[in-house]
Amino acid sequence: MGKNEFDVIVVGCGIAGLSAAVTAAQNGARVAVLERAPVEERGGNTRYTESFWRMKSADAVSDDFEERFAANAGGWPDPGIAKDAVLARESQPRVLRSLGMVDPNLVATLAEEAPMALQWLQTFGVKFDFLPTYFLSQSTTRMGPVGGGLALIEALGGYADERPDEISFYYETSARSLIMDDSVAVIGLKAMGPDNTPLDLFAPNVILACGGFQGNPEMLSRYIGPPSQFIRPVSRGGHYNRGEGVAMALDVGAAPCGDFGSFHAQPVDPRSLDVEPVVLTYAYGVLINDAGKRFTDEGPAMVDSTYEVVTRIIMGQRHGIAYAVFDAGLDDVENWPIAVRSRVPPLEADTLAGLAAEMDIDADEFRATIKAYNAACPVPDGFQPLQPDGLATQGVEPKKSNWARPIITPPFRAWPMICSNCFTFGGVKVDERARVINTEGDPIPGLYAAGEVVGLYYRVYTGATSVMRGAVTGRLAGRDATA
């Protein structure tokens, strides 16, 4: 085997890429791993996330796992085509096998394989537990690795570093295009290293695990539209995810899957240097745009299941910014600071006019908005911050469905909020072996996808499943590539 020849090439070094590379190496393969970041920043989004898994124990996913995916699996698919999804893959019509909807067999495989992936990670010294989150209350069960996603990167990366004869890393190197033979099977890829140095690597199996396109403004504008100028990756790792994996697969005929016009959104403080500086207390106050007006229901349901929709509405406001405004009543919510991950102090004033000046918005519009909201609030008896309490406004638009209390007692505080992009949803279709499916419904020989390159979500993210998806699909790809 020559210097640039391998059994498996893995593009990307997050949880999906490392799971694929280590699995392949454990099965006896010689593996190359390409990573755009320098070694000290390897790990993509995984490095910066707390990496919660939607599980009720180390042996089982949450009770609502498949139900939530089924409710969010691709809009309104043609029932005349989708009815055949119950058939074995080889018996399904080709149009169904390539249809842009989530394959229920893939979801079932994620549910089945997630406990095995977690237990596999434990063999590298990673410990999982029911850890505190930045949600004051939760609508599902979540576990996570002690030390977050960084613990996963260090465990798998450390294993790989100790085996340079089995796993070769190419840092500050990005994949550009796949190399195919005359039978349209993968035989390698073209890459670009430091100082604009071209690099060709060859292998009969390529696993694309290099994330979505949240770090690519051209693709964001193309798929999400002009408001994408107001969003940014939620963490430094996202800036390295520029969509080449998705684009390369589509270029060789991969079937698209997932919602290309959407992404996993989180509300963050734009002033903050912190990792993932979310502001998730807004349900206890009001959201004000830079015109001084409310624009959405701040409390439609539990925050952990609704913040994504609210955040995208913030993206659509003028200049893509809003302010979460509170009075002293925020302190009635026990332990509220855990839901604000920004260490930058809020804007604060003793009067609404003073707060408007701090926010740099029209004071008259702002005070009129708060006055109308206060008049629409019910008697605040029965306020229950950790569950929907039915304290809803009456006679004001937009309505606030829960936790509506008047804003009257100083000090008045506000946190600016913008929409951040954790990862994009648009990707390619894979089967339950992580093989990339082409537009005719057939696997592309030698091509696999894992993690964010896999199209899985539509409209709304099924929370606490992304790192799990990366680990499971990475292992599936590494296993099948070396079967």
DSSP letter for each residue of 175-232: EEEEEE-TTS-EEEEEEEEGGGEEEEEE-S-EEE----STT-HHHHHHHT-GGGGG-E
Closest listed residue to residue 143, CA positions, set 376, 467, 359: 467
All domains in the chain, ordered by first residue: 8-262+425-481 (3.50.50.60), 269-420 (3.90.700.10)
Helix (H) or strand (E) holding 145: strand 144-145
Amino acid at the residue 360: D
Q: Which residues of 52-74 are buried (b: 16+ CB within 10 A; e: fewer)?
A: bbbbbeeeebbeebbebbeebbb
First and final C-alpha spacing in the chain:
19
- Neighbouring residues of 197: CB distance < 8 A, sequence distance ≥ 6: none
Report the C-alpha gap between 240 and 202 in whole angstroms. Answer: 23
Cβ-count burial of 381 within 10 angstroms (0-12 exposed, 13-18 middle, 19+ buried)?
A: exposed
Nearest to 231, CA basis, from 280, 268, 261, 277: 268
pTM as predicted? 0.94
Q: Residue 304: which pLDDT band, with cuts at 50, 70 and 90?
A: confident
pLDDT digits (tens, 9 = 90+) for 8-37: 999 999 999 999 999 999 999 999 999 999
Percentages helix, strand, coil for the chain (3-state, rounded to 5) are: 35, 20, 40
- What are the φ/ψ torsions at residue 205 (nearest 5 degrees)? -140, 130
Q: What is the pLDDT of residue 481?
A: 98
Q: What is the structure's pLDDT at 211?
A: 97
Q: Residue 74: is its pLDDT beyond 80?
A: no
Nearest C-alpha neighbor of 173 from the set 27, 17, 66, 314: 17
Give per-residue pLDDT as tens, 389-430. 999 999 999 999 999 999 999 999 999 999 999 999 999 999
Position of tokens 């008896």? Answer: 381
pLDDT value of position 422: 95
Q: How many residues does the chain have?
A: 483
Is the pLDDT assigned to residue 82 strictly greater than 80?
A: yes
**What value does the mean pLDDT take over residues 149-160?**
98
pLDDT tens by residue, 312-338: 999 999 999 999 999 999 999 999 999
270 contacts 359 by C-beta, under 8 angstroms: no
Half-sphere exposure of 461 (CA within 13 A, CB side): 27
Q: In the prediction, which pLDDT does 108 show?
A: 94
For 176, how many CA atoms within 13 A lie in the half-sphere containing its CB? 12
Q: In sequence order, what DSSP letters do the residues of 268-287 get, joined into one string?
A: E-TT--SSS-BB--GGGSEE
Per the structure block, which two tokens stand in for 182? Answer: 């005359």
Distance in angstroms (rounded) separating the CA atoms of residues 337 and 331: 9
Answer yes or no: is pLDDT of 123 > 90.
yes
Please, which residues have CB within 8 angstroms of residue 212's CB and are 6 or more apart in sequence? 241, 243, 246, 263, 423, 424, 425, 426, 427, 452, 453
More confident residue, 131 or 436: 436
Integer Cα distance of 472 and 150 in angstroms:
17
CA gyration radius, the chain? 24
Alpha carbons 310 and 321: distance in angstroms, whole number? 12
Residue 1 has pLDDT above 80, yes or no: no
- CA gap 472, 25 in Å, rounded: 16
Q: Is the dihedral of CA 224, 229, 230, 234 positive or negative?
A: positive
Distance CA(225)–CA(230), nearest Å, equals: 11
User: Which tokens in the block code for residue 460?
Assistant: 């709304």
**pLDDT tier, 88 (very low <50, low <70, confident <90, very high otherwise):** confident
Type of residue at 274: D
Split at pLDDT 50, 70, 90, the class of 380 is confident
